[in-house]
Structure 1
Amino acid sequence: MPKITALILAKNEESNIRDCIESVQFADEVLVIDDFSTDSTKEIAESMGARVLQRSMNGDWGGQQTFAIQNAASEWVLFIDADERISGPLAEEILEVVKRGEKCAYWIMRENKFHHNQATHGVLRPDYVNRLFPAAGSYVTGYVHPTIVTPYPNKKLNHIMYHYTYDNWDQYLNKLNNYTRLAAEKYKEQNKKCSFIKDVMFRPLWAFIKVYFLNLGFLDGKMGWVLSVNHYFYTMNKYVKLYYLYKDNGKL
């Protein structure tokens, strides 16, 4: 039977790494690429039998994921984030499709969860992510939102994985700030145009309307409203940063 390596990219994930690794115990190897954590992420992972390689990400998710693929010992790789969990039925399905030997890139439905709240529409509606595929010929491109490139046909699995999104609002807002900065820098590198009226004033409004009304964020009550408004500000800040990168290199 072809073997599977579960790949986890981590940095300061001591609160998540144990549960994450426990959810992929069906894999033949667990490989953690640690971005020089300053907490006990590395020690916890190693205590659970994972192989840990340390490498600085420097904001390059695609490069870090490609490095992980290249260092996997197995024919198949399964990407999982430290704050994600493979469900029991999904683990069985993964073993079954790998056993069949049909080389495909398998997409998995991810259900977002909070520890104490619920939101299943709008920004946090379930989405499919490409996570299981043969390592040979596969690599990843992109910084903020990387794209997995494989020579294999795409298929979807039936069972779900869980994504525990955020522990607190500080973590949420710090991520929003970091992602808007990286997105603006990426857009500038691509010479993406930015109009103050179109992109800073009106694009965020459309982003809110889309997630709150069209994607049914209003069905999630108070949390749906908060997340939709934050999506408005995420979109606005992304283009504000881009606009001022062009105008005065981001300086105020």
Structure 2
Amino acid sequence: MKSTLSVVIITKNEEHDIRDCLESVTWADEVIILDSGSTDNTLLIAKEYTDKVYTSIDWRGFGVQKNRVLAYASCDWILSLDADERVSEALREEILNAIQYDTEAIFKIPRLSSYCGKFIKHSGWWPDYVTRLFKRGEASFSNDLVHERLVFETNAAKLTSPLLHVTYKDLDEVISKINHYSSLGAENSHHKGRRGSLTSAIAHGLWAFFRTYIIRAGFLDGAEGLMLAISNAETTYYRYLKLLYLSK
């Protein structure tokens, strides 16, 4: 019998990304959207592609929300996507082959991400393996507020075709995400009982730049590599500063 695939996506105000994401998975057996209170056209666009659109505004973090959307899936396999990701044609064929003929239950997918219009091949961004394809019931997400991960007990095989990640489209989005993710990261660390300080903010920020630009060869990504290293450093710096004030 042919194996079936559910694509699950959580959203909030994703009108600029969700159409391209959904266009890339029209071949799936079902697509499920769980929205957390969009005020733009996200839901209208989503309903053009699927009738399985749900809402849950009791936001408790990315991990909890991704586990909630898993509960709606009914197919044999699940592919978890973010709204700014797209499944390439090569990846589509590899996924269909894997769920039909492979004996593994969990798969990692290499993710190729863009920064201000350029796909980044170094800086620690490639190959950025993300575990997103799995048999239903074989895995679930950690309940972290941000940087959630898939939790499973078996080994994960690797696919080779990239999942395209169209993120940080311009500098406005870079600045917005620095603020957003540094706040979420600080809250996540605070909930785990960690404390911040000005010294740790400076030290971790400098280390984030050095690791991205030198150790992970961000300099090979040109101007965007330098910009990425700086924004990584800023995100880290502000995360620890925000943690300092939360600790107070």
Residue 35 of structure 1 pairs with residue 36 of structure 2: yes
Please identify, of 53-62 and 63-72, the stretch whose mean Cα deviation from structure 2 is larger.
53-62
RMSD over aligned Cα atoms: 1.8
* SS in structure 1 of the partner of residue 147 of structure 2: coil
Residue 157 of structure 1 pairs with residue 159 of structure 2: yes
Going from structure 1 to structure 2, the CA distance change for 1:233 and 1:11 (only over 3 Å counts) comes to same
1:193 Cα deviation after fit:
3.9
Identity rate, percent: 35
1:36 Cα deviation after fit:
2.0
Distance 1:230 1:57 in 2: 30
1:1-252 equivalence runs, <5 A: 1-56=2-57, 58-100=59-101, 102-114=103-115, 116-122=117-123, 124-141=125-142, 142-197=144-199, 199-247=200-248
Number of matched pairs: 246
Distance 1:19 1:201 in 2: 39
Question: Which residue of 2 is the match for residue 250 of structure 1?
Answer: none
Distance 2:197 2:14 in 1: 38
Going from structure 1 to structure 2, the CA distance change for 1:50 and 1:120 (only over 3 Å counts) comes to farther
Q: Which runs of 5+ in 1 are unaligned?
A: 248-252
Contact 1:123 1:227 in 2 (8 A): no
Distance 2:238 2:197 in 1: 13
Going from structure 1 to structure 2, the CA distance change for 1:87 and 1:123 (only over 3 Å counts) comes to same
Cα deviation digits, residues 49-77 of structure 1 (max 9, x gap)? 35111112525111111111111011210
Matched to 2:216, the amino acid is N
Q: Which runs of 5+ in 2 are unaligned?
A: none
Please identify, of 165-174 and 229-238, the stretch whose mean Cα deviation from structure 2 is larger.
165-174
How high is the TM-score relative to the length of structure 1? 0.91
1:123 Cα deviation after fit:
5.2
Going from structure 1 to structure 2, the CA distance change for 1:217 and 1:115 (only over 3 Å counts) comes to closer
Contact 2:116 2:171 in 1 (8 A): no
Please identify, of 161-170 and 78-87, the stretch whose mean Cα deviation from structure 2 is larger.
161-170
Matched to 1:105, the amino acid is I
Going from structure 1 to structure 2, the CA distance change for 1:175 and 1:50 (only over 3 Å counts) comes to farther
